[in-house]
């Protein structure tokens, strides 16, 4: 059985006291309702060290990582730094990083590799924009993103990667891919991995769906055979919604 995961992505939200409160709420919810899935949150860099020191019941991830080891890269945060504060992993290649910071598939691949080299678990994001979906190019886009960023990895390395398919047109828009659309492309991504690394490895890889997942649609999406959970933005920002998403797995 591959890992089922409910992952939050806070993006650039929450002050220190708000972050502390939500982390404590997640922790106490998990303790009183042991989840049937792995739970993790990607949070702003400035809160990582305290979060990790105070919360051991769920994963604490950064929302990005530098592709460089160290040196003159003002404002960047390295994999070594994240390991030194015991962060569990990093969200890498989110569409907002691709869109606003012009990250390329090659850079994203380098970030995944340096995360792995430093013992961090990478969540690699891919997904097409609306024009690409409308033009029927989504399979090609996701194939190129995945192959360029991941296919230089060895089998032992790629085993540790979690993929998050996030159609850009569904992120923060309220518009969600249908469960059938999610299943179709998740199965496609798994088939790409199978062609390159073999079926057993592909079957063991968790592929999350992201894009306006909320309590009302989570169960239906998470029930699809190639969907192994979600990467959640808006609905990860309050305990009522986030706990309901964790609970979706209790019902599947
Ligand atoms: C995300 O940020 O990865 C995301 C999927 O956001 P939302 O759930 O708000 O669409």
pLDDT (tens digit per residue) in 140-156: 999 999 999 999 999 99
Ligand 1 atom at minimum distance from 213 CA: 8
Residues carrying an active site annotation: 94, 166
- Cα 29 to Cα 228: distance, rounded to the nearest angstrom: 21
* In 36-137, alpha helices (H): 45-54, 79-84, 95-101, 105-117, 130-134
Q: Residue 59 pairs with which residues in a beta bridge?
A: 40
Q: Domains in the chain: how many in total? A: 1
Alpha helix locations (H) across 33-94? 45-54, 79-84
Q: How far away, in angstroms, is 8 Cα from ligand 1 center?
A: 8
Please tell me if the CB atom of residue 245 comes closer than 6 angstroms to any atom of ligand 1. no
Q: Which domain holds residue 77?
A: 5-251
| Ligand 1 close to Cβ of residue 248 (< 6 A) | no
Q: How far apart are CA 152 and CA 139, in angstroms?
A: 20
Rounded CA separation 53/242 (Å): 22
Q: What's the 53 CA to ligand 1 centre distance in angstroms?
A: 26
Each residue's pLDDT tens digit, 50-108: 999 999 999 999 999 999 999 999 999 999 999 999 999 999 999 999 999 999 999 99
Indicate the SS3 state at residue 42.
Answer: strand
Top mutation candidate among 234, 235, 242, 245 for ligand 1, by most atoms within 8 Å of CB: 234
Looking at residue 175, what is its pLDDT?
81
Cβ atoms of residues 184 and 144 within 8 Å: no
pLDDT in tens, 142-201: 999 999 999 999 999 999 999 999 999 998 887 889 999 999 999 999 999 999 999 999
Give the CATH number, domain containing residue 62.
3.20.20.70
């Amino acid at each position: 059985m591959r890992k089922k995961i409910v992952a939050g992505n806070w993006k650039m939200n929450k002050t220190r006291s708000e972050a502390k409160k939500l982390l404590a709420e997640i922790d106490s919810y998990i303790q009183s309702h042991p989840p049937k899935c792995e739970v993790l949150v990607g949070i702003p860099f400035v809160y990582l060290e305290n979060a990790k020191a105070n919360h051991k019941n769920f994963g604490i991830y950064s929302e990005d990582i530098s592709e460089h080891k160290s040196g003159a890269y003002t404002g960047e945060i390295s994999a070594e730094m994240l390991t030194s504060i015991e962060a569990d992993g990093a969200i890498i290649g989110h569409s907002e990083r691709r869109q606003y910071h012009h990250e390329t598939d090659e850079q994203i691949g380098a970030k995944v590799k340096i995360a792995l080299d430093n013992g961090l678990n990478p969540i690699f994001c891919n997904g097409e924009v609306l024009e690409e979906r409308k033009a029927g190019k989504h399979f090609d886009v996701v194939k190129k993103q995945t192959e360029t960023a991941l296919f230089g990895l060895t089998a032992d390395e790629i085993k540790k990667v979690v993929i998050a398919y996030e159609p850009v047109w569904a992120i923060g828009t309220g518009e969600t891919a249908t469960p059938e659309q999610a299943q179709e492309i998740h199965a496609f991504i798994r088939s790409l991995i199978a062609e390159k690394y073999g079926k057993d490895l592909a079957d063991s890889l968790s592929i999350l769906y992201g894009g306006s997942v909320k309590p009302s649609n989570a169960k239906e999406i998470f029930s699809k055979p190639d969907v192994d959970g979600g990467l959640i933005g808006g609905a990860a920002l309050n305990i009522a919604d986030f706990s309901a998403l964790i609970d979706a797995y209790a019902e599947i």
